[in-house]
Structure 1
Amino acid sequence: MSVERVHRMSHAVDAAAPAGVLYALVADTTPWPLFLPDTVHVERLDFDGATDRYSQWAAVDGSLGPQLWRRTLDAHHRRIGFRRERPAEPVTTAAGAWTVEELAPGWSRLTLEQDITVAGSRSADVERVLDSARAGAKAVLGRFGAFAERWQRLDSLRVTFEESVRVQGPAEPVHEFLYRVGSWPGRVAHVVGADVTEERPGVQRAGLVNLADDGSAYTTEALRVCFPAAGRIVFKTTRPHPLLAAHAGEWSVEPDATGVTVVCRHDALLDERAVERVMGPGTDLARARRYVREVLGRESRATLEPAQQYAREAVRSLRPV
């Protein structure tokens, strides 16, 4: 009986940021869709103050799927241990730890250690898995380091809000309208084109052609994960609005005794380099945030209104003549 070898790797990045900032970026998974390009959605499933378990929907090797992780958080020592549950073949175990070390005032080091075993230890499988793990580690460390060095500006770059509408009717037709994003052209005012593919039920890639305020067209591309039983659709725009570096969010249909509330939540990150190019010289971040809030809010309302109308029509069609 062969024993699988444990492959240990360690990578690190130094950043001009306080140690607490680096630790917080790794510990708080909520904004990861904004920081990590391959991550579409993260949802905490359990947390007892010291250990947590979360689901991370990420695009890996061109395929979007969930990964389950369990972590132990030690804020005092700035260490987070992790282990993946049910890793994808040929990986049999994937575990490790994040640690943050203060090098000097305002300078810190973030280290990622990984322990990986591969079924059968075949050289081709091992090489492919380790190459992917190395590339992923370096990319994630680079992103966390870059965002940590901008920690004093992150709040001014982030735009978080929600829009909602009340519908006097059932939840199912509302969710159906939001799910059928390919039918939006001609029904949603700012959408003039849509190209939608569904890798498997509930996992969509959507390209939308949108009209800007000046009548010009721009394209956005998004990954969407749909949870019909929960009335939720989470999304991340992989090609966001020209002013944004990242944009993620969620549509949710929340029923109660008299109808449903339909909510669209947005979490976006401004692209500093694009602000003056798109909005003109001298534009500050506050004005850019207001503009993004206005544009995304208007587009959300423009989608919520026909969803509301679609639900009303569904109710009328069910009434006896």
Structure 2
Amino acid sequence: MTTNHVTRHDIEVAAPADQVYAALAHAAGWPCLFPPTVHVEVLNKTKTTERLRIWATANDSVKNWTSRREFHVADRRIDFRQERSAAPVAEMSGNWWVEPRAAGGCLVRLDHRFRAVDDDPAAVDWIATAVERNSVSELSALAAYFELDDDESRFTIEDTLHIDAERESVYGFLAAGTEWSRRLPHVVASDCRELGDGIQILRMDTRSGDGSTHRTESVRVCFPSERIVYKQTVLPALMSLHLGWWTLSDTPSGVLATAGHTVRIAAANVAEVLGPAATVADARAFVTKALRGNSGATLRAARQFAEGSRV
């Protein structure tokens, strides 16, 4: 019989308990909230339960699994259990607890219970390290989130282009990140590593408008011929968060290709990057122009590639 392992992590959060519980209950928002979470798909949901598919970084890898959650609103508790775990995890479950403090704020506690495949000691160590790193990261990010004034620093933009071609051709261009350095003028170097199960690691050196280059790295989750969602894990200095997506939808005369971004400006770096008089609004304008320029160039190149392939 394999051994059950138990961990507990907690943190004080300077926000009302109900508000914190609501953030934990809204799993679709976790990629914005928790650094390890790349993407969440809500498979089905009722008032008291939901099933999720979650993609997240764990140690130096990317894992995905399916979880069932049960909500106990009166107790501000969420129970979770992985229905389909990713090796070396054999079984994982736990709880989120949010306890109000009499003086204000709340205590958030995160419990995990897990078993490793074949009770392998190396696997136990790997899981314990991943749980420790991710739990500390998530709880720290949760506490910091309620200290941020996100109204100005966080924003979302989208751009759409009509392409007279099949979705498969457009998707093929977007999925082939390794080819971007020779297909896109703003990409100096690119490497796209396939991890299997639709997961990619895309590393790029991108040229800015002033001629300088910056390096980024993204975890991408691919849904063939439909969409690609990604989260940058190595970011430019002006951003503390960058989520992105490419979506494709059929029209009577081709496909609509959409490039979207959700960004949070790294306010502490604005003066260093843009100058001492620059504001967060200046940084938003700068980042918006850069992202729209690069996304627009990519969409136009995808159109040229896909329409050329069709001909």
Give the TM-score of the pair, scaled to structure 2. 0.91
Aligned-residue RMSD, C-alpha: 2.2
Distance 1:119 1:217, change over 3 A: closer
TM-superposed CA distance for 1:228, in Å, is 1.0
Which structure 2 residues correspond to residues 138-217 of structure 1 after superposition, within 5 A? 138-150=136-148, 153-200=149-196, 202-217=198-213
TM-superposed CA distance for 1:66, in Å, is 1.3
The one-letter code sitting in structure 2 at the alignment partner of 1:21 is: Q
Spell out, residue by residue over 1:150-179, the C-alpha distance to the aligned partner (whole angstroms, 9 max, x if none).
Answer: 2xx123221212111011221111111111
1:275 paired with 2:279, answer no
Spell out, residue by residue over 1:113-141, the C-alpha distance to the aligned partner (whole angstroms, 9 max, x if none).
Answer: 22223455565554553344233322221
CA distance in 2, matches of 1:236, 1:207: 12
Aligned partner of 1:287 in structure 2 is: 282
Larger Rg: 1
Unaligned residue ranges in structure 1 (runs of 5+)? 317-321
Distance 1:109 1:187, change over 3 A: same
TM-superposed CA distance for 1:61, in Å, is 3.5
3-state SS in 2 of match to 1:273: helix
3-state SS in 1 of match to 2:19: helix
CA distance in 2, matches of 1:189, 1:147: 36
1:255 paired with 2:250, answer yes
Aligned partner of 2:223 in structure 1 is: 227
> Quick check: 1:159–1:293 contact (8 Å CA) kept in 2?
no
Distance 1:218 1:124, change over 3 A: closer
The one-letter code sitting in structure 2 at the alignment partner of 1:129 is: I
CA distance in 1, matches of 2:174, 2:88: 36
> Quick check: 2:59–2:133 contact (8 Å CA) kept in 1?
no
Aligned partner of 1:51 in structure 2 is: 49
CA distance in 2, matches of 1:191, 1:213: 12
Distance 1:31 1:293, change over 3 A: farther
CA distance in 2, matches of 1:248, 1:16: 26
> Quick check: 1:255–1:261 contact (8 Å CA) kept in 2?
yes
The one-letter code sitting in structure 1 at the alignment partner of 2:296 is: R
The one-letter code sitting in structure 2 at the alignment partner of 1:305 is: R
CA distance in 1, matches of 2:270, 2:115: 45
The 10-residue stretch of structure 1 (130-139 or 6-15) with the greater mean CA deviation from structure 2: 130-139
Distance 1:214 1:255, change over 3 A: same
Unaligned residue ranges in structure 2 (runs of 5+)? none
TM-superposed CA distance for 1:186, in Å, is 4.1
User: Would you say how many aligned residue pairs link Structure 1 and Structure 2?
Assistant: 311
CA distance in 2, matches of 1:259, 1:283: 43
Say which of 15, 21, 24 aligns to 1:23: 21
3-state SS in 2 of match to 1:288: helix
The one-letter code sitting in structure 1 at the alignment partner of 2:178 is: G
1:78 paired with 2:76, answer yes
3-state SS in 2 of match to 1:283: coil
Spell out, residue by residue over 1:246-300, the C-alpha distance to the aligned partner (whole angstroms, 9 max, x if none).
Answer: 2111111111332110011211121121111112223222332232222211211
CA distance in 2, matches of 1:126, 1:182: 35
The one-letter code sitting in structure 1 at the alignment partner of 2:140 is: G
> Quick check: 2:59–2:130 contact (8 Å CA) kept in 1?
no
> Quick check: 2:157–2:262 contact (8 Å CA) kept in 1?
yes
CA distance in 2, matches of 1:125, 1:205: 23
TM-superposed CA distance for 1:302, in Å, is 0.9
The one-letter code sitting in structure 2 at the alignment partner of 1:59 is: T
3-state SS in 1 of match to 2:28: coil
The 10-residue stretch of structure 1 (304-313 or 249-258) with the greater mean CA deviation from structure 2: 249-258
Say which of 232, 241, 245 aligns to 1:246: 241
The one-letter code sitting in structure 2 at the alignment partner of 1:260 is: V
The 10-residue stretch of structure 1 (111-120 or 274-283) with the greater mean CA deviation from structure 2: 111-120
Distance 1:63 1:123, change over 3 A: closer
